[in-house]
Structure 1
């Protein structure tokens, strides 16, 4: 069951993130030091989790009036059980309830469990001309941190009216 994180759970999510990040080594991707995201989170209302203790999480923020999926991580020992999909659906539901026009994210273009996976969940590559100033700054910051160690893309799920789900009309 997906729910909002409890403040006491935040420290334990670091292990989930680090374990999930370790999978990227299979794709030849090693993250630069200091790029772990969840360890800096102090507000549990920006983190959706599943499991007790949490086996996965979705870290969200607001970017240009959209809900932005900062990070989705599932512990490798709990993968392939639908946790990631349920977390994404919960983020989309939250965004609809908040009246956000879209959910955006940045991800690796060619890693199978990144852009192709998000594509199967209703996200499309969003062209640069659609980016707002905050999203541009976020992409620039990722580059400065050295996260762009492999080709990355911005993706979005544009939201219809409640109950319609994500639609793929965000561009190419």
Structure 2
């Protein structure tokens, strides 16, 4: 069951993120040190989780007036059980309930569990000329952090 995280669960989500990030090594992507996102989160109201303890999470925020999926991660030991899909549904439900006109995200274009997975969930590539100022800043920050180690895209969909 997807639910909002509790504050005491946030530190444990770092292990989920690191394990999920380790999967990228299979496709030659290694993230630079210090690029984990969840360890900086202090507000559990920005994190949807599933499991006891959580086996997956979706980190969300607001960007240019829309909901932005900052990260969706599932521990490899719990993959292929529908957790990612249920988290995505919860993100979209929350966006709809909050009146968000769209949900955006940035992801790797060619990694099978990234852009192709989001496409199966109704996301399409958002052309650069349609990016808002905050989304442009996020993409620039990703590049500066060294996260763009393979081609990335910005994607969106209506909730």
Q: Please list, as runs of the form range in 1=range in 2, the aligned pairs for 1:10-49 lying within 5 A after superposition.
A: 10-49=10-49
Report the equivalent of 2:92: 92
1:111 aligns with 2:122: no
Quote the offset at 1:51 in angstroms.
Answer: 0.4
Write the distance in 2 (CA, Å) between the matches of 1:129 and 1:99: 24
Structure 1 gap segments, 5+ residues each: 160-172
What's the CA shift string for 1:113-137, capped at 9, x where partnerless?
0000000001000000110000000
Q: Hey, what does 2:133 align to over in structure 1?
A: 133
Structure 1 CA distance for aligned equivalents of residues 51 and 157 of structure 2:
25
TM-score (norm 2): 0.99
Distance 1:8 1:122 in 2: 33
Structure 1 segments, 4+ long, off by >6 Å, are: none
RMSD across aligned positions (CA): 0.4
- How many residues are aligned here? 159
SS at match of 2:134: helix
Q: Compute the TM-score of the two structures, normalised by the length of structure 1.
A: 0.92
